[in-house]
Amino acid sequence: MTQAVEEGLALAPDVSARLGELADFVADGDVVVLSGAGLSTESGIPDYRGETGRRRRATPMTYQMFTGSAEARRRYWARSFLGWRHIAGARPNAGHRAVAELQRRGLLAGIITQNVDGLHQAAGARDVIELHGGLDRVVCLGCGRRTPRRLLDERMLAANPGWDARVDAINPDGDAVLADEQIRSFRVVDCADCGGVLKPDVVFFGENVPPARVRECYALTERAGLLLVLGSSLAVMSGLRFVRRAHQHEIPVAIVNQGPTRGDAHALLTLDAPLGPALTALAAAL
């Protein structure tokens, strides 16, 4: 299938050869995709550990900081109030569309994403397991009610008439980089039902993924014909554990990422290439 890859998109010969090998594996079906932030960088969303992340040197908000300090919550929501527009305005790139196309052809057994941007679904993918939740939802830490992010956005807009700030940069979790003086005047709103603290429905650093969700991902991994990692450095155990589980069950692992990953030692095939062009070529080869 190497020739088909080369015809689908001009790539370096060694990349084309490896994509041909990968296409042979994917053609057998039952592929479980595990995607990370590197898949969304071509949509303008930076990552933490790739090239865009290294340029920003972002320090993420932790669960302990968010729940333990009203000022930390003010800082988060002020930054997120502006940064959310960047995430909401992002569009799926060629990599997301290629994954959705592979699913449409019946080659995928499931999609697990570490991303919180909803771009897999926007590209047409179905039944995506959002390992770390989604930024398009908000949860109350008091009563547990979940509501659409757009409703919170409307309430924050009403509570902060005329508030604006200059955005210097956008961090991977969707918050804008703002100066402290711009944050002080921002008003945070609480749950409309119980007055509890509102949090984006995502797993913060220092917070655990819900156990039932982890079990679902383990079960999907163990039934896979191939675990295909896309755009993840696997630097944290949250994603790496599924690669290790696949290896333990003698399920082949393939990794497409820009740069090395912590899972490379367990992979049957690794490919260092831009995700959009590589996955477009992969889809063209099948």
25 CB burial (10 A radius; 0-12, 13-18, 19+): middle
DSSP 274: -
Q: Distance between CA atoms of 209 and 240, rounded to whole angstroms?
A: 14
Q: Determine whether the annotation assigns residue 217 to a binding site.
A: no
194 marked as binding residue: yes
Q: Is 259 annotated as a binding residue?
A: yes
231 is in an annotated binding site: yes
User: Any binding-site annotation on 102?
Assistant: no
Distance (Å, whole) CA 97 – CA 196: 38
CA gap 200, 204 in Å, rounded: 9
Give the phi and the psi of residue 144 in degrees, each rounded to 5. Answer: 85, 0
C-alpha–C-alpha distance, residues 147 and 130, integer Å: 17
257 annotated to a ligand binding site: yes
Q: Tell whether 232 is in a known binding site.
A: yes
191 is in an annotated binding site: yes
Active site (annotated) includes residue 132 = yes
Sheet containing 146-148: order of strands: 146-148, 133-140, 198-202
236 labeled part of a ligand binding site: no
The vertex-161 CA angle with 160 and 162, nearest 5°, equals 110
Catalytic-role residue among 86, 96, 132, 266: 132
Is 115 assigned to a binding site?
yes
Annotated ligand binding at 40? The verdict is no
The answer to whether 21 and 254 are in contact (CB under 8 A) is no
Known binding residues for NAD(+) = 114-117, 231-233, 257-259, 275
Please identify every residue annotated as catalytic: 132
Known binding residues for Zn(2+) = 140, 143, 191, 194
Known binding residues = 114-117, 140, 143, 191, 194, 231-233, 257-259, 275
